[in-house]
Structure 1
Amino acid sequence: MSLPTEGGSDEHDDERSLVEDFGVHIGRTMGWPPMAGRAAGVLMLSETPLTLTQLQQALNASKGSVSETTRTLITSGTVERFKEAGSRQFVYRWRDDAWIGCLQHQLDQTTRLLAMAENNYDRGETFSPTQQERLKQMRDYYRFIVRRLDDLLTEYTAQWQQDRTDRAEARG
């Protein structure tokens, strides 16, 4: 994926448009800086892994900015960093199961919030009834969300695996 900055085909215009949409919408929704959203778009569209330098060029960004961005995407579960066989350089690629990774990250983060909510609820015995009720509501909310996210992750993972199997069988 080259994402040319001038001229180019309709396909490249579509790619640039998607990358910018990711920067604005996916980035904002995930709580990422726009650069991370744009990098996610570039990596999602790239059919091959990209080096940090290639990603810098595609994003027209500094090495430091792209390095920080890739760490964000790896942490979020959507991108992986590895060395290709015979290479000394790391490359980055969109994970085949990126949306599973994204959902797993959301579950992990929410589970941390649940632990905090439970800890604060347990420590709140000396608080007023109103404060105790609010802590209970927070704890109950995060319990509910963690259960639902866990169910969604299980369901989506099963669907993703079935879809992958179906595509492999269709290819022969």
Structure 2
Amino acid sequence: MEQSAPGRPPATEEELAFVEEAAISLERQGLFRMAGRVLAWLLICDPVEQTAGDLVEVLRASKGSVSAATRFLVPSGMVEKISRPGERRDYYRIKEGVWPVLAKSQAEHYQSFVDITEQGLRILRDAPAQRKERLRTMHDFYAWLAKEMPVLWKRWEEEQGARGTGRS
């Protein structure tokens, strides 16, 4: 097992509790728990770049489970894998600016939900209102999101610009 950098203090119980809480929350959103743990640790770790060995050690996890988590998180775009010249180990870190990018990519699907629910409503046009209600509710919600998200993104970008981050 790779050892963490000499002199690096181990994670505190409070940090590990945060990691577990965050992992459970992310699991509720569809991420598997170990991917959530890796993501949560990468959000708070110091240094910001961690080796697989570091992750195994701090998360008290198997190499296989950390490997599965990083193999999921890297292609998802949330985490990036980097190498350093002269070193054989890879390092993992949260991809800079990932959260707005991920949210925007999810928001791009809203219009497709509107389109498909419109198709369903056309199919059910002669059906009783009660039968169409669930589909109508979904349609109305995603139509609202598709209309409001550009306004929300504009506001986010303006607020970030005002803070001087320049990130969107």
- Partner Cα distance (1:57, 1:101) in 2: 30
- Give the AA of the match of 1:117: T
Q: Are 1:82 and 2:81 matched, yes or no?
A: yes
**1:52-105 Cα distance to aligned partner (Å, 9 max, x none):** 33323322223442233335545665x232333536654321133243134224
**1:5-30 Cα distance to aligned partner (Å, 9 max, x none):** xxx68x723322321221233x2453
Q: Are 1:31 and 2:30 matched, yes or no?
A: yes
TM-score using structure 2 length: 0.67
**1:124-159 Cα distance to aligned partner (Å, 9 max, x none):** 346444334543332121111233334323322332
Instruction: Confirm or deny: 8 A CA contact 2:111 2:146 kept in the other structure.
Output: yes
- Give the AA of the match of 1:36: A
Count of aligned pairs:
157
What residue in structure 2 maps to residue 170 of structure 1? none
What residue in structure 2 maps to residue 131 of structure 1? 131
What residue in structure 1 maps to residue 48 of structure 2? 48
SS in 2 for 1:165: coil
- Partner Cα distance (2:111, 2:67) in 1: 27
Q: CA RMSD in A?
A: 3.4
- Partner Cα distance (2:163, 2:68) in 1: 33
What residue in structure 2 maps to residue 62 of structure 1? 62
- Partner Cα distance (2:28, 2:129) in 1: 35
What residue in structure 2 maps to residue 5 of structure 1? none
Instruction: Confirm or deny: 8 A CA contact 1:48 1:93 kept in the other structure.
Output: yes
The share of aligned pairs that are identical, in percent, is 25
SS in 2 for 1:61: coil
Instruction: Confirm or deny: 8 A CA contact 1:103 1:153 kept in the other structure.
Output: no
Instruction: Confirm or deny: 8 A CA contact 1:84 1:91 kept in the other structure.
Output: yes
Task: For structure 2, list consecutive stretches of 5 or more residues without a partner in the other structure.
Answer: none
CA distance 1:94–1:28, change in 2 (3 Å): same
Instruction: Confirm or deny: 8 A CA contact 1:56 1:66 kept in the other structure.
Output: yes
CA distance 1:148–1:67, change in 2 (3 Å): farther
Task: For structure 1, list consecutive stretches of 5 or more residues without a partner in the other structure.
Answer: 3-7, 167-172
What residue in structure 2 maps to residue 163 of structure 1? 163
